Chains A and B, each alone.
Chain A
Amino acid sequence: MEKFTTHTGVAAPLTRSAVDTDQIIPAVYLKRVTKTGFEDALFANWRQDPAFVLNQSAYAGASILVAGPDFGTGSSREHAVWALRDYGFRVVLSPKFADIFRGNAGKQGLVTGVVTEADIEAIWAALAANPGAEMTVDLEARTARLGDLSVSFDIDDYTRWRLLEGLDDIGLTLRNEEKIAQFEARREAWRPRTLPVR
């Protein structure tokens, strides 16, 4: 997983609350057998509307999503994070995230910053005045800057540390590689082996 320190990119306002995982990625896309390539699935239903924010030229290539409260509710599908990530999002800001979504996001390198509702409104207002403006997200300092506007966001220490270090779950476990190898060295000979085929 890539390390995350700071990121600068176009911020897109998603002025809705309670965006659930069915909206983020409709169920029909769950049949796929890959973990990547879900960019077309992101907000697939909403994107059929030409007026939808991501269809506006100012927000082409957006990589920071600024959403209303209760983002990521509904079914726990990890695909919701994959779709955001594959589309190119590195950060989602919202006043409140569903817990499971937040957990999944942290494991997949997507920053979920909690900002106050007033700050979200302020960002939306700034973007309305200046569509397509770039925002800089600093994970170390837990701040997001857009022109003159600077807001701070919340993210728990543990998740922040993992993102700064670029550690997915597997990477975390592999920090104990030596202990795993030691365990294997003392594993008894009778334990099952699938190879060679007998």
Chain B
Amino acid sequence: MSTSIPDRPRTLAEKVWDDHLVVKGENGEPDLIYIDLHLVHEVTSPQAFDGLRGEGRGLRRLDLTIATEDHNTPTLEIDKPIADLTSRTQIETLRRNAEEFGVRLHSLGDKEQGIVHVVGPQLGLTMPGITVVCGDSHTSTHGAFGAMAFGIGTSEVEHVMATQTLPLKPFKTMAITVEGELRPGVTAKDIILAIIAKIGANGGQGYVLEFRGSAIRSLSMEGRMTMCNMSIEAGARAGMIAPDETTFDYVKGRPHAPTGQDWDDAVAYWRTLPSDEGAVYDAEVFLDATELEPFVTWGTNPGQGVSLSDVVPDPASFTDPNERAAAERALEYMDLAAGTPLKDVEVDAVFMGSCTNSRIEDLRAFASVIEGRQKAEHVRVMVVPGSARVRLEAEAEGLDKVFTEFGAEWRFAGCSMCLGMNPDQLAPGERCASTSNRNFEGRQGKGGRTHLVSPLVAAATAVLGRLASPSDLPAFEKAEA
């Protein structure tokens, strides 16, 4: 954009910020930042719409706004009325508001419906160098494209609706460099879980994390989305990855991707976005990718994780008294004894879904492990695609058959058991290997116990009925069937 560009080297985050400055804040006042894309869902929007109504305001840019239903939607019998009254009210309210204000909405049953963070990228609306907001903390997902994307509260939702801007103070930046080749079976999910375990569930507070290094460049867009999605689990405001050919290839040809001259202009600009040589970050972290193994959480925050081949840690091994106390509480809630090998931990359920891991590649990864096998008898396995389109794609590839023949439930799109706002919940005391992003107490249902894992680990766990990675599965004779 035509604003004067400082000559000092800048980071990716600074460049995107600078190019969205509407008003530079003076004397400690916040900057006014333009928002390119506003994603809306049923949980955090009702009061924002109501606020607009009360003040006689409308949306400034309907053409930069899109809504979908996700948190409350049922994943079975989607043609029946929603039983839970609060859920139904939220969804019906969104429908009424979208109609009244003219907002584009993808409702349950529509082929573009799905988790808001799956829908944006798949439509080609998420692209490098833009600002994206949504009343949802996992908006950080979109940073995988080199966008500045972060979650906002309900009053900010109203503010963006009315003005298409937000008053914001610049975030600090943290470079997280991951170098080296990943071992087979180690995925983006394992990298991000390892990062969070390293810097802690609050280690990223106030920062935009920029993931960089050869291991990150080698990831697919879907893997990058998994990483940025969970930046928030390190307490960060956002996560970002510099756009490259992988990014451009992913965006190109999608329904809302630029075309013709616009595409050429866009790519030319996108190539200028990666952090400059010599750009200064407020903090830096390094990770050796070659050492990483499949990862799993043992506690009740996403920073409480270890390699799957490890044992449940002894709280006494934590020097920080708060961490020690947290570990003690977590082990009690999780009903785990220190020293237990994680691979001995039996599960009752496997949840394959959520905005962290419910895209087509995730489903393919899961299917590749279970194909031709049977799930462990005592385990309930739910596969929930991130969007209706992902569901259709999976069915076109025959993945649905792989899932159902394995004994898994093949469901309709939505947040589902990621947060259990709909009926998809764990019973008290049930233990689940989940591809989602939060293992807080009761997150997947009151009293439920969550172990965060990658789709590959989830799949192997579903086969053996205890936490496992694909390399733990007995050699498999495919020809026999």
Interface residues of A (CB under 8 A from B): 1, 31, 33-36, 78, 107, 168-170, 172-174, 176, 179-180, 183-184, 186-195, 197-198
Contacts and interface: CB of A to CB of B under 8 A. Distances in A.
Contact of A189 (B32, B167, B265): B265
A55 to B, nearest CB: 28
Contact of B62 (A31, A36, A173, A195): A195
Given A183-B34, A188-B269, A193 B22 contact: no
Interface residues of B, number: 48
Interface in B23-48: 23, 32, 34, 36-37, 46-47
A176 B266 contact: no
Given A183-B22, A194-B65, A195-B104, A33 B256 contact: no
B127 interface: yes
Nearest to A172: B167
B51 interface: yes
Contacts of A191: 36, 127, 130
Contacts of B46: 33-34
23 contacts: A33-B47, A34-B50, A35-B47, A35-B51, A36-B54, A170-B159, A170-B163, A173-B163, A176-B23, A180-B34, A180-B60, A180-B164, A180-B165, A189-B265, A190-B262, A190-B265, A191-B130, A192-B36, A193-B63, A193-B256, A194-B65, A194-B125, A198-B255
B262 A189 contact: yes
A169 B127 CA distance: 29
Given A35-B50, A173-B32, 4 more contacts: A169-B155, A192-B37, A192-B127, A192-B256
Contacts of A179: 22-23, 32
B256 A194 contact: yes
* CB-based closest 7 A-B pairs: A33-B46, A190-B266, A190-B258, A190-B262, A35-B50, A195-B63, A194-B66
Contacts of A187: 1, 34
A38 to B, nearest CB: 11
B2 A170 contact: no
Interface string B110-136: 000000000000001111001000000
Dominant secondary structure at the A interface? loop
Nearest to A198: B255
A195 B38 CA distance: 13
Contacts of A195: 62-63, 104
Nearest to A82: B47
Contacts of A184: 34, 164
B422 to A, nearest CB: 15
B165 A1 contact: no
Contact of B47 (A34, A168, A186): A34
B362 interface: no
Given A183-B34, A189-B265, A190-B263, A36 B158 contact: no
B162 interface: yes
A107 B119 CA distance: 33
B93 interface: yes
A183 to B, nearest CB: 5
Contacts of B64: 192-194
B89 interface: yes
B55 A170 contact: yes
Interface in B67-96: 86, 89-90, 93
Contacts of B256: 192-194, 198
Contacts of A197: 104
B436 interface: no
Contacts of B165: 173, 176, 180
User: Which residue, A186, A191, A198, has most C-beta atoms of chain B within 10 A?
Assistant: A191
A172 B57 CA distance: 14
B11 interface: no
A183 B126 CA distance: 20
A173 B66 CA distance: 22
A183 B22 CA distance: 6
A30 B176 CA distance: 38
B154 interface: yes
Contacts of A188: 1, 262, 265-266, 269
Contacts of B167: 169, 172-173
Contacts of B65: 194
A190 B127 CA distance: 10
